[in-house]
A and B are shown apart, each in its own frame.
Chain A
């Protein structure tokens, strides 16, 4: 009798334990994100930089003021992917330009670092050549359009110079930028879809939208020369380069315009942001589609998928590790996209995820996300400060017209 009673009691205890834990999970999991949820204004405001963003920027600025630190950080990234070294520079220069416009009293300080980055990038390109910032497979076959050049490099270098010039004119960049834009336009014009190669016979939407944005910026800064080209590019792109299932831009295609990869999160957010300069309506449409196909949230944590449900691409160094379709690269760029399109709630959800899974670490007033790297942190920084640069470009365009 005694033994039976003990057994019943034990069963009850086990049952109550499981029940308590299940109820505990049901209570905690929906609240869990509140531990990491933060006021968006601690990262992103109009005007002076919030404390967190300043700390994030401080680490990047220090990187370019301490050669050993820079060599260590960038060297480690280059060991995995040389592109990250280059893209980290682009996003940092874009961030610095936005920061200079937000904080005019610190403009000189920010532009000084931006100039250092541009000068160093131009030097490396000249000394080490085209392949220094490309992945090794770029050497596997010749570029279709000769002589070999990569739109990845031309577009982003020109964009860095344009961003710097939008804040404050730097005459020595004017000719360099104009030459690059002319080269890009000439090479894009050789393709029936007005697309140029980043890698041999690989035209990436990321690079081609960066290129069209910088062509537009060139027109704004130096007078309209490419209005027809931009209109044709938009018309052909909308007609030929949209995935019929999702309406999103293909991530890559060959020079003839045949799709190589379907829509990808690691490309589309930046593509939509660049399109904001040339066709706001098309840009919003792409963002909204990307948001619907790739964006999501679970228990208050935002995420972005690498591919839409209707397309499964190959995981690569751009996507990073893809778990259940969710990609950190797409999520980081999604934060930038959400900020650029003022999608406050999604921005906050992605920031919550970043604060949980990014392992932020602040030491001596410098913030880094440990689970990220320099390029990832530069993208987050850009997401935190994005806005004033494109806004200034729009204002200049209105003035010009």
Chain B
């Protein structure tokens, strides 16, 4: 179990291409879900208009903010993370010694070898 946990945290460290990829995909997934359940309509609050015609509630504001943030993340940040992931994979393959990941050490997790020893 522990070995699995360690491997998981290593794979998705922010210093790894797969970590960047995972974050980009997660952000886009959140956006797709929010869009699918109709949160886009809450952006009418930006112009002072309630999507329901009723007084704008705190929950409506939260929906609007979460939609706008996930939208900005998906359209601006996620593609940068995706491109960054590809570039990082190339750079690391070329210039960083393969084998044990130093990222995992930095993030406080143990190496797979060490974990297997435990």
Which residues from chain A sit less than 8 Å from chain B, CB to CB?
5-7, 9-10, 12-14, 16-17, 19-21, 23-25, 27-29, 32, 35, 72-73, 76-77, 79-80, 356, 359, 361, 370-373, 376
Contacts and interface: CB of A to CB of B under 8 A. Distances in A.
A7 B105 CA distance: 9
Chain B residues touching A, majority SS: helix
25 contacts: A6-B102, A10-B15, A10-B103, A13-B15, A13-B92, A13-B96, A13-B102, A17-B20, A19-B87, A19-B91, A20-B85, A20-B87, A20-B88, A24-B87, A28-B76, A28-B80, A29-B80, A32-B75, A35-B75, A80-B48, A361-B40, A370-B44, A371-B43, A371-B47, A373-B48
B42 to A, nearest CB: 8
Given A21-B81, A32-B79, A13 B103 contact: yes
Interface in B4-35: 14-15, 20
Contacts of B50: 76
Contacts of A23: 83-84, 87
A80 B48 CA distance: 8
B38 to A, nearest CB: 9
Nearest to A32: B76
B84 A21 contact: yes
Given A28-B76, A370-B44, 7 more contacts: A13-B92, A17-B15, A20-B91, A23-B84, A76-B49, A370-B43, A373-B48
A29 B80 CA distance: 8
A14 B82 contact: no
A99 B96 CA distance: 63
B14 to A, nearest CB: 7
A166 B44 CA distance: 35
A17 B75 contact: no
B108 to A, nearest CB: 12
Interface residues of B, number: 37
Nearest to A11: B102
Interface in B39-58: 40-44, 46-51, 53
B117 to A, nearest CB: 16
A35 B71 CA distance: 13
B15 A14 contact: yes
A371 B15 CA distance: 37
B113 interface: no
A5 B75 CA distance: 38
Contacts of A17: 14-15, 20, 84, 88
Nearest 5 A-B pairs (CB), nearest first? Answer: A24-B83, A9-B102, A24-B84, A20-B87, A20-B84
A262 B112 CA distance: 69
Contacts of B75: 32, 35, 356
A24 B81 contact: yes
Contact of B40 (A10, A14, A16, A359): A359
Contacts of A372: 47
Most buried by A among B50, B79, B105: B79
B2 interface: no
